[in-house]
Amino acid sequence: MPEADGVDEIIEQWRRERPELDHSPIGVVGRVSRLARELEARLEPVYREHGLEPGWHDVLATLRRAGPPYQLRPSDFTGSLMLTSSGTTKRLDRLERAGLIERSPDPDDRRGVIITLTEAGHERIDRVTEAHMANEMRLLEGLSAAERDRLAGLLRRLTLSLPPRA
């Protein structure tokens, strides 16, 4: 039998208190929730070591992945960053003050803005990406390559099967 974790204890407590319920979802949802927090706590130190504040990596990586000319509109970030538009604006303000992005008028929309990765931002995200990928690989050392692929596929399937938000 595999080693027990804190979620096993929670499931056992619910089985004792509410035996008529199906407790199996806790095994997945509870572990995914806990794992997300644990992983984030292990990712942030690498970002800090490279001079990034919380949340900056996502913006810079999104711009870098966009490819040349490394530009996006603020609305392009809202979905990928899971932030409100005001939250995105605050994050962009801090990145601009740090010299990692620039804002310029959108030539196709006089009310719009284009966010561009600066040379300093490009250099920073390229440096942190190498360390970030190595860190992620270390975090997954407990799984074989085949297990990582299987887990990634199952998580993708679960993500795509989620019902729409209310």
Whether pLDDT at 160 is above 70: yes
Across the chain, what does the average pLDDT equal?
92
Question: How many whole angstroms separate alpha carbon 153 and alpha carbon 156?
Answer: 5
Average confidence (pLDDT) over 32-59: 94
pLDDT tens, position by position, 2-16 = 899 999 999 999 999
Tokens of 33: 């929730």
Which pLDDT score, from 0 to 100, does residue 83 have? 62
127 has pLDDT over 80: yes
Residue 154, pLDDT > 70, answer yes
64 pLDDT higher than 90: yes
How high is the pLDDT of residue 79?
Answer: 64
CB 55 within 8 A of CB 81: yes
Distance CA 27, CA 53 (A): 33
For 165, which DSSP code? Answer: P
Evaluate if residue 51 carries a pLDDT over 70: yes
Q: Is 54 a residue whose pLDDT tops 90? A: no
Q: How far apart are CA 60 and CA 52, in angstroms?
A: 10
> Would you state the pLDDT for residue 70?
97
> How large is the average pLDDT for residues 146-160?
97
Chain segment 72-119, per-residue pLDDT in tens: 988 787 666 666 667 778 889 999 999 999 999 998 888 889 999 999
Residue 1 reports pLDDT greater than 80: no
Q: Give CATH for domain 49-161.
A: 1.10.10.10
